Amino acid sequence: MEKDKVPQDTSNLTKNNVKELLYATDENGNYTTTLSTGWEPKTIALSNSIDEINERIADARQQVLDGEVSPIVYFMEINKMDLTILSSYVGFWKWRVKRHFKPSVFASLSDKVLQKYADTFEISIDELKNSITK
């Protein structure tokens, strides 16, 4: 794309007076960098992704409140993680983390194990156990 044709549409970046760095070609056909305030198709895709993430967080919260899953699932969603990523952060096998998703298993976890999750989510053990029900 030519530098003078880089989109400058209104986007989430505009609200915060932020611009995105993009590559474009200059008048001589050489690659250079330029700034863009946004591009409508990208803004729509990003907005849809954020909406989907928010739905997943709300679903996870409701599942915790209904006693279907442990708070680990909720905090995993808030932190935009999946099972593989969470497993690597806490240092447990995926099957073990998945087992911790069960409320009955979560209730019996030691403080040492809970601390690994709390550290990963950058919260306290108390917040991990109680913040959703408040």
Helix (H/G/I), strand (E/B), else coil: 53 = helix
The predicted model scores a pTM of 0.75
Q: What percent of the chain clears pLDDT 90, i.e. is strictly above it?
A: 58
Say yes or no to pLDDT of 85 above 70: yes
Tens-digit pLDDT profile for residues 26-74: 888 888 888 877 777 777 887 888 899 999 999 999 999 999 999 999 9
Domain boundary assignment for the chain: 40-131
Distance, in Å, from the CA atom of 79 to the CA atom of 74, rounded to the nearest integer, reads 9
Options 1.10.260.40, 2.40.50.100, 3.30.565.10, 3.40.50.2300; CATH for 40-131 is 1.10.260.40
Long-range contacts (CB closer than 8 Å, 24 or more residues apart) made by 78-85: 78/121, 79/120, 79/121, 80/53
38 burial type by CB count under 10 A (0-12 exposed, 13-18 middle, 19+ buried): buried
